[in-house]
A and B are shown apart, each in its own frame.
Chain A
């Protein structure tokens, strides 16, 4: 668990940039600034109403405080149709206005502009995988390039990015505080959110999971690194070398770091799942007492249908992984290398 623990502890070092740490974080986009405008407006409305209610309350408490047991109320005035209409209809006008500006801002957050770059997002217990299929100019990549959240996920500035999100297991939620943007990630469905960072906002931004998803929910934090378009293209080209690179040990290691590490250790310690140390060719005892040798067939089945054969003493906790043939073969190489 040591390596996993270290990775989790790193999460606490992440940042959500906020010049004013008593208010909202720094807004990256125009849409986020609009949201903040509405937030400020509502807060002002709240303060006015709060003062309007609580100050009279304290004033009456002081002014009409019962000083002797015999003191009775000064007046028994018990209704005023004028006041009732005033404090029902008055706020109603204000509420309709708030509803309207909120709805306008919501549409801005939900409807992406034309020509957005599409990035696939797959959430799983517990991590994020980004899938790139085009570069900044819109040229297709050699293959769907998958990058995992244990390293910064690069995105270009100056072009809208639309995240097309789905989950492999349970509900997750994709939350970018600096962009005031959020969308649930749902198994068996696609949900989308979009953002666009202007040129002068190239920076690292934190991604949180905000739909409770189990043990490592709070560790599903990732860094989104917005960079200039040329740098993005260069990075994507580099990623394609390993991601579209057929079968290799390096690729296996990369998949391990991204997906398997949370539950499977390399040093022999027991995690949510069995350790990978010395796993290859080992004979494992299953839940029902039968034995199985860890070979190509078993590993492939365990990746695609993890709960078909559960090793004794472990929960059926692993979600199915969507790896292609080359990726699975790369995992064989990696497992063989962990002695």
Chain B
């Protein structure tokens, strides 16, 4: 055992101390670097196919290679980057600290989640590599991240392996979700009532509920695919009497809630950033908190809006369209409250805040263009065109990824103990903002003009739009490289960060050292105020310090 009062990075040394650690902070960091590695890989594939799309004719790579590229990009970004980004990487690091707990409720289970994540990721990538090297073995993985049958099952068993990989990855998020739910219920510090929880916790709580409830559906789908392939029972395959559209229902019954597994954590970080960098109480705290839960609940009953033209009944489409409009309300409530929080604040434009403003701008566009797609008659025209591609990049990348990077810049001093070059950080946020809009804004136009998704070749009249989009993709590359450079440079320059550089009021900044000690806190923190009470006096008390003052903490009867 190391000394509990030295910082967690130095408490133990060596590779083994990382691989068998049960420290949530170290597990969070390992998730973080895994996710960043996959983000690089997914990004490289995006740049490769954007380069192919520079000209109308398919001339850089073959159609098969192009199809593999966009599948890789989608699978990696969805399952290996966005889903684990905030909850598993930042959530693991931050959540117990914000609760005033020594660790999550089940530390060993937490380590198991990480290993399961690595196994699932290896399996997903392995399937793609094997499928690409020898397509006759299990079939090429060129299905797009949606794996629609019967195309995905005609070529071979790759769809089963990929679903298995997604299910294993899902298991990792089920375990993490359960762990977080129990931790939030049981390990809150004395005085940390539900309505004194940072909103980060509320949104992660809502995310965890979806993870635990939706992911099992992937398991059912997997079981049905295996039954069809091995036993020959017709479920999805029309040649055996099955129905391929049924697969879409199963797929979206998981994957639509998964969309909220992706965006709610982004909103979680956003609430923190806006409040801290405005030094103001978060406006409409309870509305923001409950809108997370409302989004979580509604997310389960809107999956059919992916299938308006799939041949499902018009009545079903009508119901799903109606329910889809409902989800706009809680999302809107959040946006309005964030803007209201900035009103009469003391707004500091540090790097994390710039990423938060990126989120606000881009996510608003993403959310609003969802109206074109939720509306039945316009969706018929726009479905499976670049309009959809632009919409979900504005939501997923403009939403979740912006706050993920913003969150990294926000908690980086806490994680590493070092500060980064503020100018580089700001420059990266601005360049990414420009690159993002150049890449994706034009795709709304392409989609409205009828350019279908997943096209290797396209008609020449779309070429000029694609040129702009590809240029934007490379601007994005520059922006993210500058961000990476700023972070790496901070590790080399080793400029020591203060304990609370942002004047935040949540426990990870007020009650811990930077970086935190191995067991997070010296003594048990006690909470006297809400997480955003910037006007209240700064109170840094623990049970022990109160005891020493002769004013022991009064536990309430409840």
* Residues in A neighbouring B453, C-beta threshold 8 A: 210, 212
Give the residue of A74, A106, A189 whose beta carbon is less than 8 angstroms from that of B243: A189
CB <8 Å contact, A173 and B309: yes
The distance from the CB of B270 to the nearest CB of chain A, in whole angstroms, is 12
Indicate whether A83 reaches chain B with its CB closer than 8 angstroms. yes
Indicate whether B29 reaches chain A with its CB closer than 8 angstroms. no
CB <8 Å contact, A15 and B344: no
Indicate whether A8 reaches chain B with its CB closer than 8 angstroms. yes
* Distance in angstroms between the alpha carbons of A187 and B244 in the assembled complex: 8
The distance from the CB of B136 to the nearest CB of chain A, in whole angstroms, is 7
The stretch of B174-182, B196-204, B360-368 that contacts the partner chain: B360-368
Indicate whether A148 reaches chain B with its CB closer than 8 angstroms. no
* Distance in angstroms between the alpha carbons of A171 and B454 in the assembled complex: 14
The distance from the CB of B340 to the nearest CB of chain A, in whole angstroms, is 7
CB <8 Å contact, A210 and B452: yes
* Residues in A neighbouring B379, C-beta threshold 8 A: 102
**B335-364 Cβ-contact flags toward A at 8 Å (1 or 0):** 111011011111111000000010011001
* Residues in B neighbouring A108, C-beta threshold 8 A: 377
CB <8 Å contact, A215 and B64: yes
* Distance in angstroms between the alpha carbons of A88 and B284 in the assembled complex: 12
CB <8 Å contact, A66 and B452: no
CB <8 Å contact, A53 and B344: no
Indicate whether B380 reaches chain A with its CB closer than 8 angstroms. yes
The stretch of B223-231, B443-451, B467-475, B490-498 that contacts the partner chain: B443-451
**A164-189 Cβ-contact flags toward B at 8 Å (1 or 0):** 00000111010101101111101111
| Number of A-B residue pairs with CB-CB distance less than 8 Å in the complex they form | 297
* Distance in angstroms between the alpha carbons of A311 and B68 in the assembled complex: 25
Are A57 and B458 CB-contacts (below 8 A) given A24-B448, A38-B378, A75-B344? no
CB <8 Å contact, B344 and A74: yes
CB <8 Å contact, B311 and A186: yes
* Distance in angstroms between the alpha carbons of A108 and B372 in the assembled complex: 17
Indicate whether A92 reaches chain B with its CB closer than 8 angstroms. yes
From A71, which residue of chain B is reached at the shortest CB distance?
B346
* Residues in A neighbouring B344, C-beta threshold 8 A: 64, 73-75, 77
* Residues in B neighbouring A23, C-beta threshold 8 A: 445, 448-449
From A111, which residue of chain B is reached at the shortest CB distance?
B314
CB <8 Å contact, A46 and B343: no
Chain B CB count within 10 A is highest, among A38, A106, A213, for A106
* Residues in B neighbouring A104, C-beta threshold 8 A: 377
* Distance in angstroms between the alpha carbons of A95 and B333 in the assembled complex: 14
**A207-231 Cβ-contact flags toward B at 8 Å (1 or 0):** 0111111111111010000000000
CB <8 Å contact, A218 and B455: yes
* Distance in angstroms between the alpha carbons of A83 and B449 in the assembled complex: 38
Indicate whether B107 reaches chain A with its CB closer than 8 angstroms. no
* Residues in B neighbouring A14, C-beta threshold 8 A: 459
* Residues in B neighbouring A66, C-beta threshold 8 A: 279, 346-348
Indicate whether A243 reaches chain B with its CB closer than 8 angstroms. no
* Distance in angstroms between the alpha carbons of A227 and B374 in the assembled complex: 35
Are A64 and B314 CB-contacts (below 8 A) given A102-B321, A214-B142? no
CB <8 Å contact, A21 and B329: no
**A52-79 Cβ-contact flags toward B at 8 Å (1 or 0):** 0110110011001110000111111111
CB <8 Å contact, B459 and A11: yes
CB <8 Å contact, B377 and A42: no
From B317, which residue of chain A is reached at the shortest CB distance?
A106
* Residues in A neighbouring B380, C-beta threshold 8 A: 35, 106, 109, 180-182
Are A25 and B309 CB-contacts (below 8 A) given A95-B325, A169-B150? no
B interface size (C-beta, 8 A):
95
The distance from the CB of A71 to the nearest CB of chain B, in whole angstroms, is 5
The stretch of B82-90, B125-133, B163-171, B381-389 that contacts the partner chain: B381-389
* Residues in B neighbouring A53, C-beta threshold 8 A: 335-336, 339, 360, 364
CB <8 Å contact, B357 and A57: yes
* Distance in angstroms between the alpha carbons of A87 and B322 in the assembled complex: 19
Are A21 and B461 CB-contacts (below 8 A) given A38-B377, A64-B344? yes
* Distance in angstroms between the alpha carbons of A15 and B348 in the assembled complex: 51
From B371, which residue of chain A is reached at the shortest CB distance?
A42
CB <8 Å contact, A91 and B455: no
Indicate whether A302 reaches chain B with its CB closer than 8 angstroms. no
Give the residue of B154, B245, B333, B335 whose beta carbon is less than 8 angstroms from that of A84: B333
CB <8 Å contact, A78 and B376: no
From A314, which residue of chain B is reached at the shortest CB distance?
B136
Indicate whether A234 reaches chain B with its CB closer than 8 angstroms. no
The distance from the CB of A33 to the nearest CB of chain B, in whole angstroms, is 11
Indicate whether A49 reaches chain B with its CB closer than 8 angstroms. yes
Are A173 and B457 CB-contacts (below 8 A) given A72-B346, A186-B244? no
CB <8 Å contact, A61 and B448: no
Indicate whether A39 reaches chain B with its CB closer than 8 angstroms. yes
* Residues in B neighbouring A178, C-beta threshold 8 A: 450
A and B contact pairs by CB, cutoff 8 A, 11 listed: A11-B457, A15-B459, A18-B461, A57-B361, A61-B342, A61-B347, A73-B534, A77-B283, A102-B377, A189-B243, A211-B148
Since A169-B150, A186-B238, A186-B310 are in contact, a sample of 12 more A-B pairs with Cβ atoms closer than 8 Å, ordered by chain A residue number, is A8-B457, A12-B457, A24-B381, A24-B449, A35-B378, A53-B364, A73-B278, A80-B340, A88-B329, A88-B333, A184-B311, A189-B243
Report B's interface with A, CB cutoff 8 A: 56-58, 63-64, 67, 135-136, 142-144, 148, 150-151, 154, 238-239, 243-245, 278-287, 308-311, 314, 317-318, 321-322, 325-326, 328-329, 332-333, 335-337, 339-340, 342-349, 357, 360-361, 364-365, 368-369, 371-372, 374-381, 383-385, 445, 448-450, 452-461, 532, 534-535
